[in-house]
Structure 1
Amino acid sequence: MTPHHNPSPGLRWSLLDDSLIRWRCAAHGDLQRSSLPELLAAMAADRVRDFPALRPHQRHPWHAFLAQLGAIALHRAGQTQPWTEAPPWRAALLELTPNDADGAAWCLVAPPGRPALLQAAVPGERVTDWKNVLHAADELDMLVTSKNHDLKSARARRSEPDDWLFALLSLQTQEGFLGAGNYGISRMNGGFASRPGVGVAPAEGGWGARWAADLQTLLTQRATIAEQQELMAEGGHALLWLLPWSGTESLPMQTLDPLYIEVCRRVRLDDAGGVLLARKTVSEVTRVAGKERNGRTGDPWTPVEKIEGKALTVQAEGFTYKRMTELLTGGNYQHGAAWRLDGWPRDAALQVLAQVTVRGQGKTEGYHERRIPISPKLRRSLLGPQRVAVAEIARQRIDAISEIRKLLWHALGILFANGDGADRSDSTNDKATRFAQPFEQGEDSRFFDDWTQEAEADDADRPALRLRWLLGLEERAERVLTQSFNAGPRNGMQRYKARAAALTRLRSLRGPRSKLPDLAAHYARSHPGDTDRTQHHA
């Protein structure tokens, strides 16, 4: 795409004036191209369905950028509601960069001595001497693409400006440590952690509905964030690319705006005959001096562990049902501002949205996203005195799944050991673990639907719902076991012995020594013969 020719020399691809951002209309799916002010106006009207150039792992950085930027601009302009027309957005964004009235700080390309979008100025340096030159937008992106783990790198050779924009944003606002001179952001717990995006959003509407909700939250909570995190309620650095950076000095946290948008790497985009490319170099220090905070920066989408005082770091398994239950019902986390269950219309259907790109030491461990519907009734329970009760329901269900999964694992081990449960090899146990995985994965996928059904029920109806769920849980575990029979012994005698012993072990949960008393009591009442046989064989 040909860049807009800015009247100031050396400025190319202006997000204030050029139609660089591709998005699809919510009403008909038509492809649109707009400037950043035009996009913000469309978001305010909830006209945006999605962004075709946006990769999954870039979703949260883009949402966070638009929400933080919108809230910063509205606050500085003294406004409480987003504009639905582009001109006031353009004027407000330009007001954020008073030293760059020609819009250089909103261009993808500007002279090295001046700021460009998400790129700090490097006065006095010859950027053309920087050795690391990137010709594809996905090479610039964070580790998830640059090291060929989840997506192959350097594929986007015909990158459009918004490809570069999203890659640059991903790098600057969610990257971590990648060797000496390549430091990460302040909004995560250490260089090998990740920046999560966890919040509550409307279940209906497009990108704009969530953006508008978070925008209002950020506007109302910015003073609280500033006080809690000892940031500057007024006059702090908000857009950190506006400050020159030689790579030798860090910004104190106390000088920052509560909604600050950071940059963590020294990178500059350049115009190579109408085609964009990027140049990178190292820094001696992090851009923000916040290591001792362990990711506690007031990020609206980052939960903080209360005991250890560290930002949530999601592991390779992602947002499991256990982790999401902790976030929903537990008191172990201090949620960010975007986690808001109150203040919505009474009948509003909401969802918990959790997103993260899990980083490891020199590797990536996948992009994870999970959405959990929150009905109005469940929301009222979580906000009121019923919260303890519904949290206990979840805890008991997690314990039940864990117990049956453990019995299933033992049963599978017996199966693969030809019916001998006394002495099993490591390889047999590993095989049992592998074959037991579908059970817990299945329970993970249905956990919150099942839990919500019981949590929303009247007290009198809950025991019957719990028993029905336990019986289904047992049935699903037994199905996993019987589907594994073909992987067990094939010899006739051993086959029957192994299968019978494995089933007996699993069905011990029906006996009097079961750790699931409700299930055992049910079988004692309705199938006394099964209970007697289980007790005999256990």
Structure 2
Amino acid sequence: MTLRYSLLEETLIGARLADGTRIRLTLPDLFVLLAEDRIRDFPALRPHQRHPWHAFLVQLAAMALHEAGQTEPLADEAAWKAALLALTPDDPDGAAWCLIAPPERPALMQAPVPEKTLTAWKNRLLAPDELDMLVTSKNHDLKAARMRHCEPEDWLFALISLQTQEGFLGAGNYGISRMNGGFASRPALGVVPLGGWGRRWARDVRRLLDCRAEIVQDMELCEQGGIGLVWLRPWNGTDSLAFAALDPFYIEICRRIRLLESTDGVSALATGSKAPRIDAKSRNGVTGDPWMPVEMAAGKALTITGKGFDYKLSSELLFGQKFLSPIAQALIEEDGQQGILILARGVTRGQGKTEGYHERGIPISPKVRGFMIQKKTDGLAKIAEERVSDIGKMRGLLWTALATLFENGAPKDTFGDSAKDKANLFSKPFEQYEDARFFGGPLGLNEEIESEQPGNMRLRWYLDMAERAQSILTDAFDSGPRSGEQRYRARAAAMSRLHGGLRSDKTLPTLAHYYKTQKDSKETPYVQL
């Protein structure tokens, strides 16, 4: 078997430049263009593969620069090629950077096979999406094995996705070290400054290099001589690498996979293992991952649920005290003044299933940026907590009014399951809208913080929520009781429940005071109730 599809020699990676031009690149070429911030995106990259690809490029570049004794991106393709080959001194011909190599030798993201043969490997995968980490349910989520007409880069992205973010999937299929348990996930949070892929890439490479000693000390990893490219080490499926033997920027693999080529094209062979590749179960995913938040009290990496990065979790991750922020999330002066996002990404995993890919970009306003750089976020946390609570109060009031409608105007303590289910269904869009605008939307948190009159901004938000709650309740009238007497009673009781709650000091005192003032002064309310 000969070496095929070298990332160092062949233009396998498809990219689109800032001006829209599509080109194909070697890996060293790509690093040069990333350093110049000329890459817009990668057209073949699937959404759930975005973070694994970004992390791979950042960790690899940081490792190469550290070994070369450099702190800034290298100048040209030849220098990058030499730096990458220096990471694989036992394979000077570049086998470790090829997608296909003899089984006894390393191939990209594929460990050498000590047996030197694949005859016992029976699990053949014919398409990249069959290899990738997504679990689909009876072809309902995404059609399986549909990428039959594919390019080598599709296998590249699938390999990196599988080997760096997959979890446990039955006996012999162990997951990565950088997650809290086999059924967890590898979510990622990081700053995205204004610019393209390259601006963020260069920024994160610099953060890794600046924080290398910190990661080494905190994680007790190797400052020098550690295992960085885990796929270089032979693996028979029975042994595990000690966590302490790793480089702080290590790029791992979790499965025994080898790519092959025949007259039918590229395919993959897979086999199980009797142990995880890295012995890190006791670490609960706390590995120094530059993008992974850590739950401090429990000493474990973040695992996201099917809700993804909703406004409650996101506000806690940005401003709260529960999680230790990863180094990629920490704002620095070089990130600039405008156009900054905190980007959150992750796939929710479960037992034999996935519960969705989640991605959220959280805009950071100038004042918020200033507080975060100064690490003075207690005030931001307080405002965010109040807003989370206020959304809950308004949604609870709307839910009660809706359940009253669907229960024909009956008292709260008599609501049946049917009325509760309908109330859940009809009140869900209210919370979804508030979730979407929580940070940067109209009347969102950023506007309140930037405002010279934050109290007035908060009141406008309350009034807007009240108006939307009433609109949702009114729209639900058509799904309530239809007979004349029941319809009148149910609608009147539901609206009365909503009005009374809005004017109660126990719900939102500021809003209640506003309505009282308007009534006393006989002025027309902002919201006509």
The yes-or-no answer on 1:220 pairing with 2:210 is yes
Deviation of 1:234 (Å):
1.2
Cα distance change, pair 84–279 in 1 and its aligned pair in 2 (3 A): same
Cα RMSD after superposing both structures: 1.6
Instruction: Give the structure 2 partner of residue 487 of structure 1.
Output: 479
Instruction: Give the structure 1 partner of residue 161 of structure 2.
Output: 170
User: In the alignment, which of 464, 471, 477 is matched to residue 472 of structure 1?
Assistant: 464
Contact 2:135-2:352 at 8 Å conserved across structures = no
Which amino acid letter does the alignment assign opposite residue 52 of structure 2?
A: P
Which amino acid letter does the alignment assign opposite residue 394 of structure 1?
A: A
User: In the alignment, which of 283, 298, 307 is matched to residue 308 of structure 1?
Assistant: 298
Deviation of 1:376 (Å):
2.4
1:282-315 Cα offsets, whole Å, 9 max, x none, are: 0000000000110000000000001101100000
Deviation of 1:346 (Å):
5.3
Which amino acid letter does the alignment assign opposite residue 450 of structure 2?
A: E
Contact 2:365-2:450 at 8 Å conserved across structures = no
Contact 2:167-2:185 at 8 Å conserved across structures = yes
Number of equivalences:
518
The yes-or-no answer on 1:508 pairing with 2:487 is no
Instruction: Give the structure 2 partner of residue 358 of structure 1.
Output: 348
Contact 1:405-1:436 at 8 Å conserved across structures = yes
User: In the alignment, which of 488, 497, 501 is matched to residue 496 of structure 1?
Assistant: 488
1:204-261 Cα offsets, whole Å, 9 max, x none, are: 2111111011010011111111110111111100000000000111111100000100
Instruction: Give the structure 2 partner of residue 12 of structure 1.
Output: 4
> Within 5 Å, which residues of 2 pair with 1:418-437?
418-421=408-411, 422-437=413-428
Q: Distance in 1 between matches of 2:395 and 2:446?
A: 22
Q: Distance in 1 between matches of 2:102 and 2:153?
A: 20
Contact 1:45-1:84 at 8 Å conserved across structures = no
Which amino acid letter does the alignment assign opposite residue 502 of structure 1?
A: A
Deviation of 1:12 (Å):
0.7
Q: Distance in 1 between matches of 2:13 and 2:85?
A: 18
Q: Distance in 1 between matches of 2:376 and 2:454?
A: 14
Instruction: Give the structure 2 partner of residue 4 of structure 1.
Output: none
Cα distance change, pair 11–512 in 1 and its aligned pair in 2 (3 A): closer
Which amino acid letter does the alignment assign opposite residue 38 of structure 1?
A: D
User: In the alignment, which of 334, 341, 352 is matched to residue 344 of structure 1?
Assistant: 334
Instruction: Give the structure 1 partner of residue 246 of structure 2.
Output: 256
The yes-or-no answer on 1:130 pairing with 2:124 is no
Contact 2:65-2:73 at 8 Å conserved across structures = yes
> Within 5 Å, which residues of 2 pair with 1:32-51?
32-51=23-42
Which amino acid letter does the alignment assign opposite residue 363 of structure 1?
A: K
Instruction: Give the structure 2 partner of residue 397 of structure 1.
Output: 387
Q: Which is worse superposed, 385-394 or 267-276?
A: 385-394
Q: Distance in 2 between matches of 1:501 and 1:453?
A: 36
Instruction: Give the structure 1 partner of residue 17 of structure 2.
Output: 25
Instruction: Give the structure 2 partner of residue 200 of structure 1.
Output: 191
Q: Distance in 2 between matches of 1:504 and 1:486?
A: 17
Which amino acid letter does the alignment assign opposite residue 10 of structure 2?
A: D
Q: Distance in 2 between matches of 1:38 and 1:385?
A: 38
> Within 5 Å, which residues of 2 pair with 1:368-383?
368-383=358-373
Contact 2:136-2:353 at 8 Å conserved across structures = no
User: In the alignment, which of 449, 454, 458 is matched to residue 448 of structure 2?
Assistant: 454
User: In the alignment, which of 68, 72, 82 is matched to residue 63 of structure 2?
Assistant: 72
Q: Distance in 2 between matches of 1:414 and 1:348?
A: 47
Which amino acid letter does the alignment assign opposite residue 500 of structure 2?
A: S
The secondary structure found in structure 2 opposite 1:448 is: coil
Instruction: Give the structure 2 partner of residue 157 of structure 1.
Output: 148
Q: Distance in 2 between matches of 1:346 and 1:175?
A: 34
The secondary structure found in structure 2 opposite 1:505 is: helix
Contact 1:21-1:33 at 8 Å conserved across structures = yes
Q: Distance in 2 between matches of 1:124 and 1:390?
A: 58
The secondary structure found in structure 1 opposite 2:344 is: strand
The yes-or-no answer on 1:148 pairing with 2:139 is yes
Normalised TM-score (structure 1):
0.94
The yes-or-no answer on 1:525 pairing with 2:517 is yes
Give the fraction of aligned pairs with identical amino acids, expressed as a percent: 55
Contact 1:138-1:145 at 8 Å conserved across structures = no
Contact 2:333-2:373 at 8 Å conserved across structures = no
1:2-35 Cα offsets, whole Å, 9 max, x none, are: xxxxxxx6211111101111111112x1111111
Deviation of 1:143 (Å):
2.7
Which amino acid letter does the alignment assign opposite residue 365 of structure 1?
A: E
The secondary structure found in structure 1 opposite 2:93 is: coil
1:70-118 Cα offsets, whole Å, 9 max, x none, are: 0000000011111242111111000000000000000000000000000
Cα distance change, pair 153–146 in 1 and its aligned pair in 2 (3 A): farther
Normalised TM-score (structure 2):
0.95
Which amino acid letter does the alignment assign opposite residue 486 of structure 1?
A: D
